[in-house]
Each structure stands twice: as structure tokens, then as C-alpha cells.
Amino acid sequence: MIAVFNRELKAYFSSILAWVLVAVYLLIVGFIVAFSIEDFADISMAAMQGGRPASAMEQLVPPLLTTMGFLLLFFLPLLTMRLFAEERRSGTLDLLLTYPLTEAQILAGKFMAALTVVGMMLAFTLSGFVMLGRLTPLDWPVLGIGYLGLLLLSAAFLAFGMWASSLTSSQLVAAVVTYGGLLMLWILSGVDRSGALKERFGDLSALAHLTNLTKGVLDTQDLVYFLALATLFLFLTARVLESRKWRG
Amino acid sequence: MISADRLTKRFGDHTVVDSVTFEVEKGEILGFLGPNAAGKTTTMKMLTCYFPPSEGTARIAGFDVVAESLQVRRMIGFLPENVPLYPEMTVREYLEFAAAAKSVPHADRRQAVTQALDRCNLGEVESQLIGTISRGFRQRVGLGQAIINNPPVLILDEPTVGLDPAQIRDIRELIKELGRTSTVILSTHILPEVSLTCNRVVILHKGRIREVDTPENLTAKLQTVNTVRLQVRGPQEEVQSALGQVQGVQSVTRLEESGSEGALFRVQVPRNLEVRGELSRLIVQKGWDLLELHPEGISLEEVFLNVVQREVETNQGGEAA
Ligand SMILES: Nc1ncnc2c1ncn2[C@@H]1O[C@H](COP(=O)(O)OP(=O)(O)OP(=O)(O)O)[C@@H](O)[C@H]1O
Ligand SMILES: [Mg+2]
């Protein structure tokens, strides 16, 4: 697993893609943080006049984290699209599968490499909050839970993207399928106006579960939701890899 | 070391490998020879545990390719056809990856990589990106990853395809050398390859084994006529007709490249008939000069075409009946 992990990580950073993705993501998050601080300044002015001080942890941080999560939806498919599609296209997957590695080791290596890149990306965004912390008091444990939410969300997104990538030898197809699937997942609660789905399955929308975590609410339901999604798609990816054995 | 028992692979209704049975002894180099779509690659993919056979079994060093896939994969080095590699890695990085992925212990990896670089003559490109090296070097890198953990079994799918003659010779030498310590199966549709590198040949055609033998035996077995090549100084027409009258001679052809030194003739007689003595006596009696006389072996190329041809004829016969 370590061998595959190292190779994938090197591949991310030796191609310019990972650097560009991280840089652009940081740039956008930086913008958003800057603007929301300004907004927050206005809000707190108004709130002061009303006699009740505004709280950054209530009014500023959760929407900020949610937006960061939403942005991940656009960035992560670009990280996962090549994981298997490219190896399938070039034929290296055929060789890799004859190495003494299990399918689980191969996909764990790839998944952890992608997660590491996202982890780095998110770690850099913390600098924005450090600056914010100088302006207004922040509750770091609560913020930590928010970040855990983002990381879990990423795990689920990456697993889904990796599964899409394992289905095809075209990176583009993998990316499109991933965008489609993740967007569906995100807007599910918005679409399900009547609440019929929600009644039956609980809330399936990624947005709803992330929102809880951004507020610092550590509910097992939300953790289970993301972990289950990640596990499901990792499992499905393994099935796809094994499918060569019973096809034909 | 390797044994395949009625190995069969079907894709849908299409039987691509049909009940293939063979054995490879330790230290042997076995050649799979066959035209396109003969099923060479498919057989190799079953042996390397890429996919399981639809029917039949295969064992490598006693391990079953389906039930003990992981053990089998530890024992083999595989060079797939077209040598898929990661273009964004340097040669050294790639071999380090292969060593790690094949669980070469951490302490021995450096040594293993150095040895592979050395054996495959990769020193001059070791820090070059794989995407930028030439075809010949790619092929060597492919071999390098196959041998990185000194596997007792090597499976090489068309190891010399697309190389120039000098490279082909080098790679053949390398394979022969590897054959001293490992058991090797290689596939090719280039015929001289098998006679030059292999101890034994399996001729595959349409998924079935047509022949298994040493290159020499195959040649002997499938030879239907003996050919003798003669160079004679004398009146050409007369020589030709005289040769044609020798008992048992089926045909005499005068070859185009006949020079001033005397005409070249090719004389064909049924297999097992020895006419060289009689031919030479005849020429001397007539007072002509015999400049050259030697038997021509039939090439593996012809053997191969014979096997394939026989197949076609049998099929046509079957359809007519
Ligand atoms: N995954 C697959 N699905 C369906 N058919 C396949 C598959 N792989 C191979 N085949 C078919 O099996 C047949 C044999 O293919 P194979 O690659 O084993 O031939 P080969 O002897 O290696 O030929 P070549 O010399 O061209 O490499 C071909 O007709 C091919 O189309
Ligand atoms: Mg082939």
C-alpha cells in the first residue's frame, strides 16, 4: 500500500495539476474569507447597536466552512479522475494487478494519496482562520469539528470520484460522472421538497450533514453518513477492479 | 515449474484459448509462437493471475493461479505487451516503486534497483523521465521491473517487438542470460526469435496448441522435402536436365542469383532420400566443376506456415464434406 501511496503522491506533485488545484483553491478561499470578514464587521456593528454582540462562531464560521465544502465539490473530481482511468488507458493497471498486491491495497494507496493532497489543501486554509482569530475570538475545538466535517466530506467525495474513475479509461468521463453524482448528493435536500425521501432514509444530502458539523455539533449520524458513503464507494471500486475476473 | 492443464478462456461465446496443456521445466525458455489473436497474451494473463481461466488450471511452482494468486504473483515477473509504464517517473523512481510494490525488503531495495539497472543496461537513462526515453530503453525498463525481485519465473509478452536489430540481439542475449537463473515463457510472432532463444516452442493458433517441440525437432518433423543447393560450372541447360534425371529428384530450379562463377541450382527430393553422393558423381563424370553443394534446412518460418496452412486445408476439407 505504501508503495502505491508514495507513487500516487509523487504523481500528483510532479504533474502541475495538484499544485494548480491547491493554489487556486487557496486563492478562492482567501477571497471568501476576506469578504466574509468585511461582512462580519458590518454585522457586528449593527449588532452592537442592537445591544447584543455578534459571534463569529455562529455567524461567520459555519457559512464559511460550508462554502469551502461546496468548493471542494469542484476541485476533488479533478484529483480523482485520473486515479484509475489513466492507468486503464495506458495499460499500467494490467501490470499493477499482477504485482503481489491486493485490490484493497491498491485502492487504499490511491485513496490515501488523494486524501493527503486534500488534507494539505485544507491545512493551508487554516492560516485564514488564524488571521481571523486575531480580529475576533474563535472557538478552536468547534472549528476543529468543522474541519473534521470537511475532511469526512472529502473522503466521501474522493471515494465516489475514485469509483467513477475505475469505471472508465477516460479521465473526462470520470470527471463528468463525478461532478454529476456529487452535485446530486449536495442538492438532494433541496430537490426533495415534499420530504418523502427524507422521511424514508433520513437526510441524504451532504450539505445537511456538513452543516451540523460546521456548527460544532458532533453527531454520530453525520459521521456515519460520511464514513458509510466513503466505505460504500471504496467497496464498489474494489468490486470494479475484481470484475475483470468474472467478466467474459 | 509451470504447468497448465486444459487452460481455457472464453469471452462470451468466443473461445480465445482452448484447452491448452503444457509444462515448463525449471530453467527452460519456452516460446509461444502464433499469429495475431492466437491467444498468447490471453494465456499469459491467466498465468499472471490477471484473470482466471474459464476452465482448467495452471500452477506456478506448485501454487494455483486462482486459489493462491498472491503466492503466484510473488514468484513471477511479467512484461506485458506494449510495455505500459508511468511516463512521469524517472527510470530509477519507477524501479524503486516496482521493488517496493513487489515487497522487496526496504534494506535490499537500493541493491535490487542497482542490479536491475545494471543487468538491463539502463545506467545512462536512470534519471531520465520514462516519457522521454526511446523504445529500446522502455523495453529494458519493462524487463527491469520484471526482474527486480529476482523472480524464479519470467513471463515476457513480445519482448523484442518494435526494436532495431542491434537492440533485438541485446535483449535476446539478456533473456538467455535470465534463462540461466529463471524459467522463462516468452511470446512472439517473429519466427527466428524462438529458434534463437528458446529450448522449446509451443505453436498456438486460434487458441489451440498445434505443436510443442524443440525448434530443431519441429523443423525436422514438418520438413516434407529435402533441399540441396548446388553451384555448378558447366552448360546451364544441360546441367539442369541432367540433374533432373537423377533418380528421386522432384524438381530442379535454377536460381536467379547465378553468377559468372557458375549457376546455382536448387534440387528437391522427398524427405529421407539421400542424393548428394549421386549428384556429385554425376557432375564429376560429366566433366563439370562442382563448386558448392550443401543441404538447405527448412526455416521455422516454413514450419510455421505449414502448420497454419494445414489447419486451413483441414477446415476447408471439413466444410466441403
Ligand atoms: N478482454 C477481452 N474481451 C474480449 N475478447 C478478447 C479480450 N482479450 C482478448 N480477446 C480476444 O482474444 C483473442 C486472442 O487475443 P490475444 O491478445 O490473446 O492474442 P495474441 O496471440 O496475444 O495476439 P497478438 O499477437 O496480436 O498479440 C483475440 O481475438 C482478441 O480479440
Ligand atoms: Mg498478444
Contact B80 A95 (CB under 8 A): yes
User: For the structural domain made of B2-220, what CATH number should be given?
Assistant: 3.40.50.300
Q: Note whether residue A58 is domain-resident.
A: no
Work out the average pLDDT over B108-122: 92
A125: exposed, middle or buried (Cβ count in 10 Å: 0-12, 13-18, 19+): buried
Give the sheet arrangement for strand B29-33, strand by strand: B76-79, B153-157, B183-188, B29-33, B200-205, B208-213
What is the residue range of A77's domain? 2-26+66-247
Q: What is the pLDDT of residues A41-80, one digit of tens each?
A: 787 777 777 776 667 777 788 888 999 999 999 999 999 9
CB A160 within 8 A of CB A77: no
Measured between beta carbons, the chain A residues lying within 8 angstroms of B50 are 94, 97-98, 244
Q: Would you list the domain boundaries of chain B? A: 2-220, 224-296
How high is the mean pLDDT of chain B? 86
Per-residue pLDDT at B321: 40
Q: Is B12 in the pocket of ligand 1 (CB under 6 A)?
A: no
The model's pTM is 0.84
Q: What is the pLDDT of residues B60-73, one digit of tens each?
A: 999 999 999 999 99
Cα(B301)–Cα(B304) distance, integer angstroms: 5
Q: Note whether residue A235 is domain-resident.
A: yes
Q: Note whether residue A217 is domain-resident.
A: yes
Q: What is the pLDDT of residues A153-197, one digit of tens each?
A: 999 999 999 999 999 999 999 999 999 999 988 887 666 666 666
Fold annotation for B224-296: Alpha-Beta Plaits (3.30.70)
Q: What is the pLDDT of residues B19-30, one digit of tens each?
A: 999 999 998 999
Count of C-beta atoms within a 10 Å radius of residue B103: 13
User: Which of A4, A14, A94 has the CB atom closest to B84's CB atom?
Assistant: A94
Cα(B110)–Cα(B88) distance, integer angstroms: 21
Cα(A74)–Cα(A178) distance, integer angstroms: 10
Q: What is the pLDDT of residues A97-149, one digit of tens each?
A: 999 999 999 999 999 999 999 999 999 999 888 888 887 788 888 899 999 99
Cα(B202)–Cα(B32) distance, integer angstroms: 5
Cα(B193)–Cα(B171) distance, integer angstroms: 11
Q: Which long-range contacts (CB under 8 A, 24 or more apart) does A146-149 make?
A: A146/A61, A146/A62, A146/A65, A146/A213, A146/A214, A146/A215, A146/A216, A147/A65, A147/A122, A148/A213, A149/A65, A149/A69, A149/A209, A149/A210, A149/A212, A149/A213, A149/A214, A149/A222, A149/A226
Q: What is the pLDDT of residues B164-195, one digit of tens each?
A: 888 888 888 889 988 888 999 999 887 777 87
The pLDDT confidence band at residue A211, using thresholds 50, 70 and 90, is: confident
Q: Note whether residue A171 is domain-resident.
A: yes
Q: Note whether residue A122 is domain-resident.
A: yes
Per-residue pLDDT at B145: 95
Per-residue pLDDT at A37: 81
Which amino acid makes up residue A7?
R
The pLDDT confidence band at residue A201, using thresholds 50, 70 and 90, is: low
Q: Note whether residue A75 is domain-resident.
A: yes
Contact B51 A90 (CB under 8 A): no
ipTM greater than 0.90, yes or no? no
| Ligand at shortest distance from the CA of B189 | 1
Distance from CA of A71 to the nearest CA of B (A): 28
Q: Is B81 in the pocket of ligand 1 (CB under 6 A)?
A: yes
The number of distinct structural domains making up chain A is: 1
Q: Note whether residue A59 is domain-resident.
A: no
Q: Is B36 in the pocket of ligand 1 (CB under 6 A)?
A: yes
**Which stretch of DSSP H or E encloses residue B201?**
strand B200-205
Measured between beta carbons, the chain B residues lying within 8 angstroms of A18 are none
Looking at the CA of residue B44, tell me the nearest atom of ligand 1. Answer: 18
Q: Which residue has the higher pLDDT, A16 or B133?
A: B133
Cα(A190)–Cα(A221) distance, integer angstroms: 20
Most confident range, picked from A206-210, B55-59, B301-305: B55-59
Parallel, antiparallel or unpaired: strands B29-33 and B200-205: parallel
Q: What is the pLDDT of residues B135-146, one digit of tens each?
A: 889 999 999 999
**Which stretch of DSSP H or E encloses residue B282?**
helix B276-285
pLDDT at B31 over 70: yes
Q: Is B149 in the pocket of ligand 1 (CB under 6 A)?
A: no
CB A68 within 8 A of CB A125: yes
